[in-house]
Structure 1
Amino acid sequence: MFTRVLTALRDVATYNALLVRSGSFRADAMKAYSEWLLAQRPTVQVRREIARVTPAAVPHTGLSGAALALAATSQSDHTPRRINIVLTDFIPNRAFAGIHTALDVADKLGARTGLPVQLVTLSERFGANEAAEARTVLTQRFARPVNVVYRDALLDTTFNPDDIWVVTHWTTAHPAAVAARAGVIRSENVVYLIQDYEPGFHAWSTAHTVARSTYDAGFHHLVNSAPLAKYLRDTAGVEIDDECVFAPALNIARMQEVARLRERGPVRVLFYGRPSKPRNLFSLGVAAMMDAVQRLGDRAVSVEFISAGEAHDSIDLGAGVQLKSVGALPWDAYFALLPTASVVLSLQASPHPSHPPLEAAVSGAIAVTNEFAQTRNDLHPRLSAVSADPESLGAALTDAINRISDEGPGSYSGLADGILGSEIDGVIDTLAGRIGF
């Protein structure tokens, strides 16, 4: 009993320390708390939606944060057709790779079909002011006007029955599935951009189960990366067409520049670590580095270990070696740091191939990551994907350090054609044909 109390107190202390030190952790914690509060009772907005939907849709109310939002909308043949890209929200300075990919898909689909693009947001915290900012940013990005409809305005907005809908996170796919069941939108007009195996973001629970159910909603699946498609098909039993699988975009020019800037010198290990993101396996990464320090022996003190992605206190790896954090970095700062790190450790407990290990490998560093359902081991000769345990990762990290010490960093070496999927423009052409264009 006493041990459990001490453990609980340590957990509380760790949580409070992260709240103080990490802005991203604090933002995520507040978001989770706000969502928990919203789930306790229907808000005014949810009650308005309940009043608008068919009775059969009402039981879905609590299954996702905006379950009824699309089912409560109105349709008219007199409204011009659009492509509606559905996001939880869009905060320009907090939009990461997944959001940018979704916007790129909507932009390319709009250009291919000739339909205007409209952003629909489902978060109740995203209102008129945020919509105005998003409208300005997206109009510049798309080089044409982009309308933004936020949650509170959805009930006053009319959509065309033949609109095309692009959903990406499961919390946007579920409202589309509810609306399709209610006959408000057509499932054959919905494009589901799948960017990770999102049921895995949750423990076995209602959220896990509802997330998994969205793959069976009858939408057109558009999958970001061949490794993810393989996992969805082989492990999760989801039907995926290879013609609708595209390769995630790497900034080739930037990677070539990083490779040119690399120089031989003391070995620096960069750990992409985010303590507040469970799927990045922060504690396992620390354990792997501690194992590597033991394997290196006296040579360990000549190796520098740094982490990026999220601020945290320095961590003792043993033998007088410290892991020092540089925190979250803007893109330019990240690409300035990358040439100085000839070994990169980046872990992810999901099948989507994250960018840091790929960017490291193609730009001349050696990347170490965890294997996941046999989706990573053949992606690149300079990427070592091994079992997710401290000893295997520590051994791979030690081998990488020794190799860099002997050979120095490599030159630019791109990924093999098609290994991550097809070129996105061709995939968009295929998709456009399937939705009637």
Structure 2
Amino acid sequence: MSGVKARIAAELVAGRGRSLRYTDVDDETLLRQHSPLMSPLVWDLAHVGNYEEQWVLRRAGGLAALRPDIDAMYDAFAHPRAERPALPLLPPAEARRYIAGVRDRTLDVLDHMDLSDPHPLRADGYVFGLVLQHEQQHAETMLATLQLSRLPGLVRDGALPSGRARGHDQVLVPAGPCEIGTSASAWAYDNERPAHQVDLPAFWIDRFPVTNEAYEEFVEHGGYDDPRWWTVDGWRWRCARRVAAPLFWIKDGGRWWRLRFGRHEPVPPREPVQHVSWYEADAYARWAGRRLPTEAEWEKACAFDPRTGQALRYPWGDGDPGPRQANLGHRASRPAPAGAFPAGASPCGAEQMIGDVWEWTASWFAPYPGFTGFPYREYSEVFFGRTHRVLRGGSWATHPAAVRATFRNWDLPVRRQIFAGFRCARDVTRDEL
């Protein structure tokens, strides 16, 4: 097996190991729907195998279907999450056998595939990148489900570097053109393509994501009770749901606590705030006299190098993420304190743009100029429009294989179960020019 194929195989094995760790719980926990927002964990487990069977074995490998009878049951568009517990899902043991059998055949297909084949699914191993990223995304979804379960002892924690005591300062991103998106990244999704030029005025952006202590000021100063800071839809949502703080925050004895994977603990002041909706992020930004960055601004601040005029793959360069640069891949089950990764700073000086928390942007999810849907409409195209907001950068739960400066995530503006936070931006004033 070539070096490229060996690396793909290793990533596939590691991704499967992660899925199995997050589902190494009792059957009742696997089968129960812990929230109507999420699938039972056993659905996710079999779904990643069925997705892999359809794309690697059947479409790229040309093999006969193993379980065509379960395709509809594990089609995410055929059955909304709220309906999935009522389906005749594969029991946990059968689901594990099924995905193991699919994986054995996938590795055989990889071994025999010509990665120089111009077929778009086979070229550069695109289909393996597709299923690898898909499984890692579902692993993050499993973590969100385990958090919603409120059950202790199911998710490991770990050590993180300490942060640096810094104010909530902003860095300047100079005016001018930059490249957004990619046409060169072999495993990039269709919504990241093609690369295109945008010309942005100068703007300021937060050096770090907004922290818990900064967000607590908004809470304590009545930010949730003042409609001035909210959009019309946001205020309607806040009132209907009686939202008064980030999800999983609880006030007791005059102090804010949070529930994190079944453990109650004081809210750590220097960590980036997470589990906030787009509506909450937007309201905070207005209260602070700022705004959310557009996704083009976010990407320029993350990856544009003004010295070369080129876009980088990551803030620090084109090298893969390492432990000194970003909090990714569940090294701990929480964000790192602000300032923990100075080696991961972008050319403009912004830090922690990759990892820790997904960051809400001001932008609706829309196609780039010249967009072409591939390999199926339901990955990106059906979500375009004024319904989903874009998130960028990945979280502590995101695997390095499933994030880069150009990667675009999206969700409804009400969603709070995801590991999402934000940073603010503002226009440059005339006096600052």
With the length of structure 2 as denominator, give the TM-score of the two structures: 0.29
What TM-score does the superposition give when structure 1 sets the normalisation length?
A: 0.29
- Comparing both chains, which one has the higher relative contact order based on Cα–Cα distances under 8 Å and sequence gaps of 6 or more? 2
